[in-house]
Structure 1
Amino acid sequence: MQMLELVVSVCLLEDHARCKEVSLIYMSESTTPMQCMMMSPSEIAKWTEGHPKWFAKKWTCRPAGRYAKI
């Protein structure tokens, strides 16, 4: 099983057309996609508290590192 990452599409409150993806957490190999999705709302809430100008539009759990921009 691969590690998972929670990837969230966030947009600016002032300009809903300005969006980006942020990777919030990497989960262990034993974490299932369902567990990742169940943990997502609390992790997203923590992130938005620290970034009040942004809101989460959508999110997904996917294999970690596969889409990383290095």
Structure 2
Amino acid sequence: MLELIIIACLHGQCREFSNLYDPAEVSMLTCMMSGQTEVARWQQAHAGWQVKRWRCGIHSRQEARL
């Protein structure tokens, strides 16, 4: 699975948010090219949160269990 990871802060508390994508439908290049648009949509839906950075990566199921 591919994921778009958004690091955003609210009142000094920062969190990581993840949107998962099926690699059969979205490539790493597509994630990187359309990431800014997706982050802008996320920002509109989460008023008050300030996006610090974002990145595309490969989702690890092992990390998700921790």
TM over 0.5: yes
Give the TM-score normalised by the residue count of structure 2.
0.76
Q: Does 1:40 align with 2:35?
A: yes
Once the two structures are aligned, what percentage of the paired residues are identical? Answer: 34
Match of 1:27 in 2: 21
Give the TM-score normalised by the residue count of structure 1.
0.73
Match of 2:3 in 1: 5
Deviation at 1:59?
0.9
Task: For 2:21, give the aligned amino acid.
Answer: M
Gap runs ≥5 in structure 1: none
Q: Give the structure with the higher percent helix.
A: 2
Gap runs ≥5 in structure 2: none
